[in-house]
């Protein structure tokens, strides 16, 4: 991983309170500046910060910034941005931010990136790196640019820049109360998922909102929410092993609570800006293990009865194979649809199984949810294959 310079241009920001809120005011545990820094550190090993207009800050604000730099383990760039091409013989990567913005997604450079315009208002070439980047920002209406700056060998020392606009939100337009505006933005963004199933959209997601906001505000790490959901689901598995009706019904409620927390952990991560690869891996791994344990636990009391115990076990194993295959193909389905630029699509998955298990357990059924989950999973695999085939044919038709 490389190191970068995160340049924040505050020349056009006149409200000192907005600047202070941007760096220090916390919304769900982190300030806007901290969230941007966390997002950049997922790609770059070392992030140095350069603030254009920092000399206009009060001494109190500068002292707070130094304390923040020590706390978050970053350093301020001593040189001006325009001195980089002259001071370095190698290229530099700069994240340029115009004003106060909140990064929502970071996209790395690739071969499609363009050279930044280096024209001033009167049409002449700019020799200033800062002015050249500003011109690119204004030209594309972007709040944040990822720039790869190459030193020039010509006498004019005009830098050569490759750039890519980044997805960001101008937080100065969120109203006078910056924290409240950022919270509203984060809540809306956290609740938007293109691959939610029907049960999640109609039922589970609404229950998640009731849990995720207080958990995020309390600073509970999303991985702890994942573990709490897994613990509730594990309690359901233990209750399913009991052959009586009451433990079965209570287990259904525990399974539903585990499903709600399983959805809420992602919302908490997005609200706190703590999405991580490990968190996704932990969530997916626990889901697969608990799904298998749940089916076996439901069938266990039935396998003890003669003469159909073996038949019950075979049906359960078939359902287990179908559910596991459905979960695996679901990940491939999501990845494939995104690769075809299909960001909003219909998806059936674990949310429907959670509803089936909960309702059947409350009404005392054991084999019925196993059969329904198996049939549903096998049907969903076939539906995904059919959808992918149709999308592939439509894409091929465009290029033919």
Q: Give the DSSP H or E segment for 34.
A: helix 32-41
- The Cα 30–Cα 298 span in angstroms is 43
> What's the mean per-residue pLDDT of the chain?
84
> How large is the greatest C-alpha to C-alpha distance in the chain, in angstroms?
92
pLDDT confidence tier of residue 240, bands split at 50, 70 and 90 = very high
pLDDT tens, position by position, 3-18:
888 999 888 888 888 8
Residue appearing with tokens 């539906």: 383
Question: Are the C-beta atoms of 152 and 85 separated by less than 8 Å?
Answer: yes
Question: Are the C-beta atoms of 242 and 248 separated by less than 8 Å?
Answer: yes
Q: Which of 127-141, 145-159, 214-228 has the lowest mean pLDDT?
A: 145-159
- The Cα 114–Cα 161 span in angstroms is 8
Sequential DSSP letters for 335-392: HHHHHTT--S----SHHHHHHHHHHHHHTT-SHHHHHHHHHHHHHHHHHHHHHHHHHH
**What pLDDT is stored for residue 189 in this prediction?**
81
Question: Are the C-beta atoms of 38 and 273 separated by less than 8 Å?
Answer: yes
Question: Are the C-beta atoms of 93 and 46 separated by less than 8 Å?
Answer: no
Paired tokens of 393: 């044919």
Paired tokens of 79: 């040189």
The winner for highest mean pLDDT among 41-45, 245-249, 345-349 is 245-249
The winner for highest mean pLDDT among 108-117, 182-191, 276-285 is 276-285
Q: Cα 47 to chain center, whole Å?
A: 21
Beta bridge partners of 47: 4
- The Cα 258–Cα 286 span in angstroms is 11
Paired tokens of 171: 């937080």
What is the mean predicted confidence (pLDDT) over 180-201? 79
pLDDT confidence tier of residue 287, bands split at 50, 70 and 90 = very high
Question: Are the C-beta atoms of 330 and 353 separated by less than 8 Å?
Answer: no
- The Cα 261–Cα 61 span in angstroms is 40
- Per DSSP, helices labelled H in 243-364 are 245-272, 277-303, 309-339, 350-362
Residue whose C-alpha is closest to residue 368's, from 288, 302, 324: 302
pTM above 0.85, yes or no: no
pLDDT confidence tier of residue 83, bands split at 50, 70 and 90 = low
> How long a stretch of residues is the chain?
400
Paired tokens of 140: 């594309």
CA dihedral 116, 120, 125, 130 (to 10 degrees): -60
**What pLDDT is stored for residue 248 in this prediction?**
96
What is the mean predicted confidence (pLDDT) over 153-173? 75
- The Cα 70–Cα 67 span in angstroms is 5
- The 10 Å Cβ neighbour count of residue 103 is 21
**What pLDDT is stored for residue 197 in this prediction?**
73
pLDDT at residue 312 is higher than 60: yes
Q: Is 9 helix (H, G, I), strand (E, B) or coil?
A: strand
- The Cα 62–Cα 56 span in angstroms is 10
pLDDT tens, position by position, 91-143:
778 899 988 999 988 888 776 666 665 555 555 555 577 787 888 888 778 88
Paired tokens of 50: 């350069």
The winner for highest mean pLDDT among 33-47, 156-170, 378-392 is 33-47
Question: Are the C-beta atoms of 48 and 77 separated by less than 8 Å?
Answer: yes
């Amino acid at each position: 991983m490389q190191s970068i310079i995160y340049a924040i241009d505050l020349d056009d920001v006149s409200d000192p309170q907005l600047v202070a809120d941007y760096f220090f005011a916390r919304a769900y545990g982190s300030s806007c500046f901290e969230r941007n820094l966390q997002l950049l550190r997922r790609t770059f090993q070392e992030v140095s910060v350069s603030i254009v207009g920092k000399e206009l800050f009060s001494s109190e604000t500068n002292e707070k910034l130094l304390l923040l730099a020590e706390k978050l383990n970053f350093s301020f760039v001593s040189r001006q941005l325009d001195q980089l091409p002259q001071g370095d013989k190698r290229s530099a990567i700069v994240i340029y931010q115009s004003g106060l913005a909140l990064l929502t997604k970071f996209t790395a450079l690739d071969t499609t990136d363009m050279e930044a315009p280096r024209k001033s208002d009167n049409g002449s070439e700019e020799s200033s790196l800062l002015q050249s980047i500003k011109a690119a920002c204004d030209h594309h209406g972007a709040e944040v640019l990822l720039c790869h700056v190459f030193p020039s060998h010509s006498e004019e020392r005009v830098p050569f820049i490759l750039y890519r606009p980044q997805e960001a939100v101008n937080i100065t337009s969120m109203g006078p109360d910056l924290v409240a505006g950022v919270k509203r933005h984060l809540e809306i963004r956290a609740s938007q998922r293109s691959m939610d199933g029907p049960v999640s959209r109609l039922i589970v997601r609404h229950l998640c909102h009731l849990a995720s906001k207080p958990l995020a505000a309390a600073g509970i790490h999303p991985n702890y929410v994942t573990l709490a959901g897994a613990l509730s689901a594990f309690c359901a598995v233990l209750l399913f092993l009991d052959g009586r009706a009451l433990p079965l019904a209570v287990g259904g409620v525990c399974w539903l609570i585990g499903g709600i927390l399983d959805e809420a952990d992602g919302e908490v991560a997005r609200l706190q800006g703590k999405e991580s690869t490990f968190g996704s891996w932990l969530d997916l791994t626990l889901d697969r293990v608990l799904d298998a344990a749940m089916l076996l636990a439901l069938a266990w009391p039935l396998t003890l009865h003669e003469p159909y115990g073996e038949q019950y076990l075979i049906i359960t194993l078939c359902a287990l194979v179908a559910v596991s295959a459905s979960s695996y193909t679901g990940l491939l389905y999501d990845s494939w649809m995104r690769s075809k630029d299909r960001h909003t699509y219909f998806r059936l998955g674990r949310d429907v199984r959670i509803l089936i298990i909960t309702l059947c357990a409350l009404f005392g059924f054991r084999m019925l949810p196993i059969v329904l989950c198996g049939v549903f999973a096998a049907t969903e695999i076939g539906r995904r294959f059919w959808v992918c085939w149709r999308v592939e044919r439509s894409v091929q038709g465009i290029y033919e």
